Amino acid sequence: MIFTTYIIRNSFTKRFYIGSTNNLTRRISEHNRGQTISTRRKGKWVLVYKEEFKTNIEAKKREKMIKSYKGGNAFKKLIAAVVQR
């Protein structure tokens, strides 16, 4: 099984959400259907970045690391290549 750490961006507010899952397609669908409290009723979410791992522990560690520098230069460098300004 593959575990994914991902970053999605709201097409309306331009805000980011960072998470991890073992089924990325299902998880993004849940975000867009309003089944995730933190992303509910906030418009469409689009995948902008992902990394795959062999274990859930690795994916969660990476998620925590990315969240620790969200909004800083490290976060901006991470997504700069894939996100249009």
- Domain span at residue 56 reads 3-80
Instruction: Confirm whether 69 is domain-assigned.
Output: yes
Alpha helices per DSSP H over the chain? 24-32, 56-68, 73-80
Record the pTM. Answer: 0.88
Q: Identify whether 70 is part of a domain.
A: yes
Q: What is the pLDDT of residue 83?
A: 59
Q: How far is residue 57 from each of residues 23, 33, 74, 79, measured CA to CA in Å?
A: 15, 27, 22, 22
Q: Tell me, yes or no, whether 85 lies in a domain.
A: no
DSSP SS3 for 6 = strand
Walk along the chain (85 residues) and give the pLDDT tens digit of each residue: 999 999 999 988 888 999 999 999 999 999 999 898 888 877 899 999 999 999 999 999 999 999 998 778 888 888 886 655 4
CATH number for the domain that contains residue 30 = 3.40.1440
Number of structural domains (the chain) is 1
What is the 8-class DSSP label of residue 23?
-
Q: Which residues are within 8 A (CB) of 65 and not within 5 positions of it... i.e. 6 or more apart?
A: none
